[in-house]
Chain A
Amino acid sequence: MTSTTDGRRPPDIYIVGLGINGIEHVTRQTEAACRRSNEILAVPTNPAVLTYLGTLCPKVTDLHPVSYREDERRMNAYDTMSAMTLAAALEHPPVAFATYGHPYIYVCPTRLILDAAPLLGLTVEVQPGVSSLDTMFIDLNVDPAVDGLQMYEATDLLVRQRPLQPDVPCLLWQVGSVESALYSTAESQPERFYRIRDYLLRFYPADHEVTAVFSAHHPLLEPSTVTFALGEMESHSEDLHQGLTLYLPPVSYREVADLDLLLKIESQEHLAGLTKPAPATVE
């Protein structure tokens, strides 16, 4: 838990995550922070979440309609969300900035608030939340322990030309809003995905099956997954909305390279060489 407080007095700002599926993922820690707050400034996935937050705190502000403007820089929205939260904290601390998901995963305002708070004499406590990463593991039936995980923001991947490892599961976040830092609710044209498709084809074959995934964010919904051949990505532009993540499973599996080590991992003798002996007990 990131905290800029001295551990004795409450922070001026709680930054909390509401999880993914409605209010089902709200932690007790988050509820407690919300109850302690004089105002919750929220970025929910459903308007009803605001009703729930209203049962925890007398003042709830929906940041979505006051922040996002069609065809404008998304950074403007994040600046507005952050500035409103910081201003509220100066007026009537403590306040909570509550976003869906985990507040440290793909949330610009968290970093903005943390960077600006010290300049305004404010303290901040960040609490973890259930992330879409957590829910996607289940939706995709992927355990990162098996072959690892690589993940990138889709536009960042292209701008930096990051190399990919085809033997490691890959998540590409925000693929539906690729190539633009502007906020838009418009549906994408197929042409939008030509560049990223061609980039991915450097590492994966055209017939490689990939999955566009969006975890359920309401308890009446099931996760949304659409699987298609990578070479046909653009023909699924209708499915590739801005909240979506693209999963590319490994195209091959890396063979064992150190068989000698593999044979030792279940050896007690090898473990004894790695660990300190237990202290002698006094009888």
Chain B
Amino acid sequence: MSRTAVNEILDRALLDEQFRDAVQTDPDNALADYELTDDERTSLLSRKMREIQHIGAQLIVTARFVITNEQLIAFRPKLDDARKAELAREGERIVAMSGDRTQAIRELLVQMR
């Protein structure tokens, strides 16, 4: 139950500016309605990401870019006209499809590399 309270507090503080200010300036009152252990309260008010993560906060940290084998090939040739035409035809085929096109588009993206 306490773990959920941590995330509820974080969610509310992100969306509600008044609540957020209250957590920082008057935490006793702002957090009065939430069930927190002493450690959770201390970690939450520490403002330190690692401490807050350790008490179960859902904070997403991901890398968003990756070098690929394709990018590492020096002087890789640009697509020739025939290849471009082929990809264009595939694009038209996908547009004309009915139903979910997601997988077909994924395959197109791979073909483009």
Q: Which residues from chain A sit less than 8 Å from chain B, CB to CB?
A: 22-23, 43-49, 51-52, 64, 68, 73-75, 78-80, 82-84, 86-87, 90, 99, 101, 106-108, 112, 115-116, 118-121, 153, 155-156, 159-160, 173-174, 176-177, 181, 183, 214, 216-222, 224, 239, 241-244
Number of A-B contacts (CB under 8 A): 145
Q: Which residues from chain B sit less than 8 Å from chain A, CB to CB?
A: 7, 10-15, 20, 23-24, 44, 47-50, 52, 58-68, 72, 87-88, 90-91, 94-95, 100-103, 105-106, 108-110, 112
The answer on a CB contact under 8 Å between A116 and B100 is no
Query: Residues of B contacting A174 with CB < 8 Å?
Result: 63, 65
The answer on a CB contact under 8 Å between A44 and B60 is yes
Please provide the 8 A-B residue pairs with the shortest distance between their CB atoms, ordered closest to farther: A119-B91, A243-B61, A48-B11, A106-B65, A83-B105, A83-B106, A48-B14, A222-B47
Contact partner of A159 among B15, B49, B72, CB < 8 A?
B72
The answer on a CB contact under 8 Å between B14 and A23 is yes
Given A74-B66, A108-B64, A218–B105 Cβ distance below 8 Å?
no
The answer on a CB contact under 8 Å between A99 and B72 is no
Report the bound CA distance from A116 to B104 in whole Å: 12
Query: Residues of A contacting B64 with CB < 8 Å?
Result: 43, 99, 101, 106-108
The answer on a CB contact under 8 Å between A46 and B63 is no
Report the bound CA distance from A78 to B113 in whole Å: 13
The answer on a CB contact under 8 Å between A108 and B65 is yes
The answer on a CB contact under 8 Å between B61 and A214 is yes
The answer on a CB contact under 8 Å between A220 and B101 is no
Query: Residues of B contacting A107 with CB < 8 Å?
Result: 64-65
Given A121-B91, A218-B59, A220-B20, A181–B48 Cβ distance below 8 Å?
no
The answer on a CB contact under 8 Å between A80 and B106 is yes
Given A46-B10, A119-B91, A220–B44 Cβ distance below 8 Å?
yes
- Among B48, B58, B59, the most chain A Cβ lie within 10 Å of the Cβ of B59
Query: Residues of A contacting B47 with CB < 8 Å?
Result: 220-222
Report the bound CA distance from A217 to B11 in whole Å: 12
Query: Residues of A contacting B65 with CB < 8 Å?
Result: 106-108, 153, 173-174
